[in-house]
Chains A and B, each alone.
Chain A
């Protein structure tokens, strides 16, 4: 069995090798650490073997002056942070986990808490070395084979196998963060808070208690951060932290309306300093503290629902979304809200100017109808969902929210007329032959 991070699996296997060129030859799909939540990293039923990139993790070049780094696709952000934070460099864009490979960051065109100023990861990529469907190896980038590049960035691995990634690391003044936190009493305050924070802070994000409705709808905590200047930072380096794990899949989900209610209250009322110098991992990767935390959702697993609601339909879109969610009582422990900057170059990249909301939802019998219900609202608002998280969206819903799909399929077919590269997700949503 192979699983996405939501622990929903398919009968399939993967092959690992340091020699990525060898294992991607004729392969149906590449896969890194399998941290996409749904079925993006799972191969289709007819060809159930994925090429796993994680042993191909060599750094091939690094230029201290420009920050330009070239590496094999299996290199992880965990490794990059360990090596480069002490030297004064950080990845230009980081998702909410360090357990992600460069290939995965390209495929999902990941964004982070700095999306409003830095855009997606793809905006910092100089070139990609790609094995395309006919077996050839092609270099693409913003200046060559541009269509292939634009479709690959955010293309969920469906245009080819990423072999190498060249991108620019960012200089940082110290390895510590200045983090400010502020309670937000409702969704309107939150929207204002995010907007105000975006003006002065490179990293902003919010956590919402999405069980609260009525006057407290959308209450939560806003986090804003920047790198500490050398004079503000402690002298010592941030230490590597212990990572306790969840040793087995718990027999039933520990994420229930009751536990979420208690957890959310604790998070909201937890006494915080409004301004602190923090370990970067605390801000960027709060969930990485516990390994295999997805096992807490029990044998049925969970899904993440992430959508972006465009600012065009006004600041009330997030309110309408949360109202619909709380009416369904969709218990979500993790609800993250973040304002996105403008759409990037990736043909299928997720973010666009507006507000992004992400929810972790334990899987129940009614999860499909909950996702359908939320998707209908997202379509009405002119928003869209994030493929890297998705396991339930119907093809007709995806088409309705994704006018760019035609262009993506046109470029994809130009490079792969026989449809050799596909995933369980592309079969489910794009209508690829199983």
Chain B
């Protein structure tokens, strides 16, 4: 597989990229900081042991850079089978309420700009006759909930976009994989109290990779979160208003 990973320097993106490098996939990394990308590329090269891993700077806050970054990726990989997006912005609800500018940025990055990047990526995949677009949304987008009002709203929009994309372009060969991670212990969730069923990035990455290979449209990870969210979706509004979850 020739894959672009946007967000491979940290957390679940790092775990997923390592799994892919380990089985021999050709990778190209996108991310914000050149020095950080360079280190992750070297890491994946040594772990994969199968040739160079390229990278290009790409920032979800700078959509004008998306086409150039994907051009560089396609050129370096000599093709493109999959585009994986784990990059996003995260902050707690308290912080977002206290910092309206950060909230605005998060909504733009996690929804508008992520969608803009996906549009750029899916055009390229379709032009090549199809491929896989795997994007990390979140269980936070399943219901409006107190701890994730703003972040969840952006992820709900992203999930809806990915579903629409799947319906519209499936027949044309585009496989859309919308990943909905539950609480996973990464640097993103560092410092937050871990709920029951919290997962680790490596098993989550293994589950996501299986979904990418099969083209599963929606994947919850860890798997138990599919059940947790099934319950949450069924809760009456009056109940959800009372509880803190």
Binding site for B on A (CB under 8 A): 15-19, 55, 58-62, 72, 83, 87
**25 pairs, A vs B, C-beta closer than 8 Å:** A15-B190, A15-B191, A16-B187, A17-B187, A17-B190, A18-B9, A18-B11, A18-B187, A19-B187, A55-B186, A55-B187, A58-B39, A58-B40, A58-B42, A58-B43, A59-B47, A60-B39, A60-B42, A60-B43, A61-B46, A62-B46, A72-B39, A83-B46, A83-B47, A87-B49
Could you tell me the distance in whole angstroms from the C-beta of A57 to the nearest C-beta in chain B? 8
A55 to B10 Cα, complex, angstroms: 9
**Which residues of chain B are within 8 angstroms of A17 by Cβ–Cβ distance?**
187, 190
12 more contacts with CB within 8 A, not counting A18-B10, A60-B39, are: A17-B190, A18-B11, A58-B40, A58-B42, A58-B43, A59-B43, A59-B46, A59-B47, A61-B46, A72-B39, A83-B47, A87-B49
Chain B min CB distance to A55 (Å): 6
Residues on B with C-beta less than 8 A from A60 are 39, 42-43
> B residues within 8 A CB of A18?
9-11, 14, 187
Please name all residues of chain A whose beta carbon is closer than 8 Å to the beta carbon of B187 when the two chains form the complex: 16-19, 55
- Give the most central of B10, B40, B43: most A CB within 10 Å: B43
Task: Determine whether the beta carbon of A16 is less than 8 Å from that of B190.
Answer: yes
Q: In the complex, which residue of chain A has the Cβ closest to the Cβ of B185?
A: A16
* Count of A-B contacts judged by CB separation below 8 Å: 32
Taking the nearest CB of chain A, how far is it from the CB of B124, in angstroms? 29
Residues of B within 8 Å of A19, CB to CB, are 187
Expressed in whole angstroms, the Cα–Cα distance for A59 and B18 within the complex equals 11
CA distance A259 to B145 in the complex (A): 52
Q: How far is the CB of B131 from chain A (nearest CB, A)?
A: 28
CA distance A17 to B42 in the complex (A): 19
> What is the CB-to-nearest-CB distance from B201 to chain A, in angstroms, rounded to a whole number?
9
Closest chain B CB from A320 CB (angstroms): 48
Shortest CB-to-CB span from B162 to chain A, Å, is: 26
For B191, list chain A residues within 8 Å (CB): 15
Q: What is the bound-complex CA distance between A59 and B39, given in angstroms?
A: 8
What chain A residues lie within 8 Å of B10 (beta carbons)?
Answer: 18
Cβ contacts under 8 Å, B186 to chain A: 55
Are A61 and B42 in contact (CB-based, < 8 A)? Answer: yes
A304 CB to nearest chain B CB (Å): 28
- Residues of B contacting A83 in the complex (Cβ-Cβ under 8 angstroms): 46-47
Give Cα A55–Cα B36 distance, bound, in whole angstroms. 14
A240, B24: Cα distance in complex, Å:
19
Cα separation A59 to B41 with both chains bound (whole Å)? 10
In the complex, which residues of chain A have a beta carbon less than 8 angstroms from the beta carbon of B40? 58
Q: What chain B residues lie within 8 Å of A15 (beta carbons)?
A: 190-191
Whole-angstrom CA separation of A60 from B190 in the bound complex? 24
Instruction: Give the residues in chain A near B43, CB-CB below 8 Å.
Output: 58-60
User: In the complex, A17 Cα to B187 Cα: how many Å?
Assistant: 5
Chain A residues with Cβ below 8 Å from B9 are: 18
Q: Mark B36-74, 1 if CB is under 8 A from A, else 0.
A: 000110110011010000000000000000000000000
Contacts of B42 in A (CB 8 A): 58-61
Complex Cα gap A60–B36 (Å):
11
Residues of A within 8 A of B11 (CB): 18
Cα A408 to Cα B150 in complex, Å, equals: 53
Nearest B residue to A57 via CB reads B43
Q: Which residue of A lies closest to B33 (CB)?
A: A19
> A362 to B42, alpha carbons, bound, how many Å?
44
User: Which of chain B's residues have a CB closer than 8 A to the CB of A87?
Assistant: 49
Nearest CB on A from B16, distance (A)? 14
Interface set, chain B 112-144, CB cutoff 8 A to A? none
How far apart sit A17 and B49, CA to CA, in the bound complex (Å)?
Answer: 26
What's the nearest-Cβ distance from chain A to residue B173, in Å?
Answer: 35
Residues of chain B in range 1-30 having any CB-CB distance to chain A below 8 Å: 9-11, 14
* Measured CA separation A16–B186 after assembly (Å): 8
Interchain nearest-CB distance for A62 vs B (Å): 5
Give 1 or 0 for each of B177-191: 1 = CB within 8 Å of chain A CB: 000000000110011
Contacts of A72 in B (CB 8 A): 39
- As a 0/1 sequence over residues 182 to 222 of chain B, the CB contacts with chain A under 8 angstroms (1 = contact) are 00001100110000000000000000000000000000000
Cβ contacts under 8 Å, B39 to chain A: 58, 60, 72
The 8 A-B pairs of least Cβ separation, nearest first, read A58-B43, A59-B46, A62-B46, A17-B187, A59-B43, A18-B10, A16-B190, A60-B42
Closest B residue to A13 by CB, please name it: B191
Question: Closest Cβ of chain B: how far from A60's Cβ, in Å?
Answer: 5
Q: How far is the CA of A58 from the CA of B42 in the complex (A)?
A: 8
Measured CA separation A19–B190 after assembly (Å): 13
B118 to chain A, nearest CB (A): 25
B149 to chain A minimum Cβ distance, whole angstroms, is 26
Residues in B neighbouring A61, C-beta threshold 8 A:
42, 46
